[in-house]
Structure 1
């Protein structure tokens, strides 16, 4: 399964050359660190899916000595590995250019990435090739543009829940959020596995 994760990096050597300038652009434009960490985390996993969609790689993968569970596991575990590496490189870039960011920015950015991945990864096994990347890009733009206003609106409408959360201690909020996000990610993993095992190539 490690070789499947490694394959994604090998196939994207050219795209990885764009990664650092792409992230530096966001940093120099003073884009909020949360969005910068989110974009950095999205870069490799979704480039991999876009490549596989064009090349119909699933036919090749199913001819290799890997089970379908292992193929899906490599996607979900690989996404976490790439997220950690991307956040590390982005943090180094922020520090190198004297730009401020916090651990909260990293936590929110990585949490949003895992939620976005959990919602979109199953689509690559549900939608027909040719439509998936477009749907994901549109979804990402909508999330980036509409996410904050929607959260603010819901916070105002459900003030009771907002007050309850605000009264919780920081460790409880972080722990609860982490558990909830990981649960959603694992449910998405299970859903993708179930769909992929029944899919015909």
Structure 2
């Protein structure tokens, strides 16, 4: 399974040349650290899906001595590994450019990445290849533009819920949020496994 994760890196060696410049672009444009971390986290795993969609790699993968469970697991575990690496590189870049950020920024961006991945990864197994990556990219950009305004609107009109959250201690809020995020990610993993086991190539 580790070889499947390494394969994504090897296949993307040329695209990875753009990884650092993209991070630097967001930093120099003054983007919020959360957005910079999020974009950096998304870069590698979604590029891997985009490559597989164009090359119809699943046909090749299913001819190799890997089970379908291992193929799905390499995607989900690999995404977490790439996210951690992206957080490390982005943190170093922000420090070098003297841009302040907090652990909270990393936690929020990581949670958003895992949630976004949870809802989009299964799409690559449900629908036929073609323009899935393009649709997901447009969706991400739309959410990036509309998402913050939607959160502010909900915060202003959901005072009872906000008051309840505010009454909880910080450790409880963070622990609860982490459990919800990882539960959704695990559920997505199981769902993708279920779909992929029954998919014909």
TM-score (norm 1): 0.98
Runs of 4+ in structure 1 over 4 Å off: none
What is the match of residue 19 of structure 2?
A: 19
1:143 and 2:143 are equivalent in the alignment = yes
CA distance in 1, matches of 2:128, 2:157: 38
What is the match of residue 46 of structure 2?
A: 46
CA distance in 1, matches of 2:169, 2:35: 25
Question: Shift of residue 3 of structure 1?
Answer: 0.4
Question: Shift of residue 198 of structure 1?
Answer: 0.4
1:119 and 2:123 are equivalent in the alignment = no
1:92-131 aligned at under 5 Å gives the runs 92-131=92-131
Question: Shift of residue 157 of structure 1?
Answer: 2.0
1:69-80 aligned at under 5 Å gives the runs 69-80=69-80
CA distance in 1, matches of 2:100, 2:195: 42
The CA RMSD over aligned residues, in Å, is 0.7
What is the match of residue 87 of structure 2?
A: 87
Pairs aligned (count) = 201
Q: Runs of 5+ in structure 2 lacking a partner?
A: none
Question: Shift of residue 156 of structure 1?
Answer: 2.0
Q: Runs of 5+ in structure 1 lacking a partner?
A: none
Residue-by-residue CA offset, 1:90-142 (whole Å, 9 max, x unaligned): 00000011111111100000100000000000000112211211111111012
Residue 98 of structure 1 aligns to a residue whose secondary structure is coil
TM-score (norm 2): 0.98
